Structure 1
């Protein structure tokens, strides 16, 4: 290991501008209720993600074979062999072929956008709030990619000044928000020390953190974000030891606001999740280069054109491999998305993400706010307290 007196050098490749948001948070979004029993239901989103996401398997440094042409043609697909196999995939192909399936995502998006109008977010726990914003962010990304798919490279789509991250695409509680507003104006402003949230922000391309097969919740938040961090850092799209140079994703450069002393903070962060046998490679590296990027959309096969007559690469073969009834490389099965349409679309948008008891409380709270103003505190009653309250109210009704 090199001595601490060695001068370490950081090289940032490409343009970079610090992200910021001047968003002023509503009072209802400030703070949290630590022991809140209110949770948001994501059954519909779980159903979609479980059906549409293909897991990539455990983190690996294995490179793909170089691109080659198939039988009867000299044409071939271009891809980055370092990163092409990394990260989970989403079945954008099916959304494109079946507009009703894309409409399911839009319906879920509308439902999530309605949540802040249904309940003051500060009545939720910190973890429940973070999970909500991550899910809303990811659903909006999927919904917006569905509109431009089969666009293969998402670089301009994501990073342009008028790209998907900066447009005010989200309408919630009477506010227009961008995805950057969610990341920097809400999440980073409220939770500046929660660096792991960046691994919950799926942006649709291979060089971004993976989409999960389930929605984030307050209960699974920490475990899921740590899993995603481990997956990202230990695959070639996140980091890559290369002699005296330690290469890292451009994703970190674009999220430098989470690492104030960029080189030191990022090195310390990577050590927490990097494979033990690779930590010395990070420590001994004299140069940290943020040059790993793969902007390819995380579809399964749709933007990889088929040239020539290779039977094993046709759509039917791939559909059979990834759909229900078959598996590929030991991955989890992906069910037929057509099976979920009626169930998911039937979900109620208004108060559909809370239990019956919670809905009643939310309605009462909203009524009190609209008619009397002031601050309303949600208190969960025990069964005994609820029974006593109901008995008392029944007695009052009889007296009348």
Structure 2
């Protein structure tokens, strides 16, 4: 699968120009797919030393993903409609300056079809090596990458679309559709998350590896997951999400959190409020810690289903020329709403620099209570 290495020059050009206590919830079941079938994906107690190379996907992500930077915990105001129209193109979400974006609007048919080929390559990998016998970090990287490749593939196939959850495959919602096949077993994105990873990894950090295609979910990373970086990337995703408006907010005496935490509660937060507070505290910065200490109850009500792309899931009829910092005109145009979003992003980055908010510290190789001694998330 080579075509992913030849991402469109338009996409690459755009990237460079942007310097401006309950039991687990039962998933949907269908004929031939039951709980016993997923038991085959239980990690082996005697892992081998095999590994998988994701260099192609790593290159693709570095060219297709745009980071919006860390949250400033400020709502982005509603943008002004374009000149001569009342219609609002592009993103209007109050969270539009958080998380990361995929440049779906720049993808041509060859790149889009290469996503399908790469997803199939990952599926076929399970016919070549024993996925369950890999060490746990290798397995976790495989399942996260397969899930995210499949999500990007289907959203790209259906773009333009405002909300990924509106996508259906043969009449079944994208998250529930079993279009992924590993070892002869049909899987949906939700199956991978809940029946395989959530069921076999006790560390709630895994929540942040899975990209849902929505602004309101965890960010997609600009590099592929692998056995060596999985812990670092999950920590990064956790800090980004926990300390963002789309992850945690305060309303009076109530800590409002993403509804994704409630979705994952049967697996990681059996005593929801107590367990979740302990988890959030682990990644909270000073501002988020103040929210935790200043509230006494939790409400999982924060959500944003809009697509995590640059164009807002629509084709805008009005365009602007992109210019570099020195005023030199570039060889392509972008929608006006996208130009506005990127300008807001640049203004945000300049503010971060002025206020000295840059810099992160990453801890790895930490043993978690209750985890196996070897081959767990590091």
TM range (shorter): 0.7 to 0.9
Unaligned runs of 5+ in 2: 1-22, 28-34, 324-331, 350-378
Question: Given the superposition, is the C-alpha separation of residues 248 and 168 from structure 1 closer, same or farther in structure 2, using an over 3 Å criterion?
Answer: same
Q: Which has the higher strand share?
A: 2
- Asked if residue 84 in structure 1 is aligned to residue 96 in structure 2, the reply is yes
Question: Tell me, what secondary structure is at the counterpart of 2:119?
Answer: helix
C-alpha change, 1:331 and 1:172, in structure 2 (3 Å) is: farther
1:269 Cα deviation after fit: 0.9
Following superposition, the deviation at residue 39 of structure 1 comes to 1.2
Q: Does 1:210 align with 2:219?
A: yes
| Aligned equivalent of 1:19, options 25, 31, 34 | 25
Q: 1:293 to 1:118 in 2, by over 3 A?
A: same
Choose which of 31, 44, 47 in structure 2 pairs with 1:31: 44
Q: Which runs of 4+ in 1 moved over 6 A?
A: 307-313
Do residues 197 (structure 1) and 189 (structure 2) align?
no
Match of 2:243 among 234, 237, 255: 234
Deviation at 1:205, TM superposition (A): 0.6
Asked whether 1:251 is paired with 2:257, we answer no
Give the superposed CA RMSD: 3.1
C-alpha distance 330-103 of structure 1, shift in aligned 2 (>3 A): farther
Question: Distance in 1 between the 2:284 and 2:87 partners?
Answer: 38
SS at 2:69's partner residue?
coil
Q: How far apart, in 2, do the equivalents of 1:328 and 1:228 lie?
A: 19
- 1:241-278 Cα offsets, whole Å, 9 max, x none, are 23322111112122222211111111111111111243
Q: Secondary structure of the residue that 2:292 maps to in structure 1?
A: helix
1:188 is matched with 198
How far did 1:331 drift? 10
Q: How many residues align?
A: 305
**C-alpha displacement of 1:103:** 1.1
Q: TM-score, normalised by structure 1?
A: 0.69
- What is the SS of the residue equivalent to 1:122? helix
**Unaligned segments of structure 1, at least 5 residues:** 1-16, 333-400
**2:333 equivalent to 1:316:** yes
1:20 deviates by 2.6
Q: Which structure exhibits the higher relative contact order, with contacts defined as CA atoms closer than 8 Å and separated by 6 or more residues?
A: 1
**1:59 deviation in Å?**
3.1
Contact 1:84 1:206 in 2 (8 A): yes
TM-score by length of 2: 0.72
CA contact (8 A) 1:70 1:309 kept: no
Counterparts of 1:19 and 1:162, CA distance in 2: 19
Aligned residue for 1:329, secondary structure, equals helix
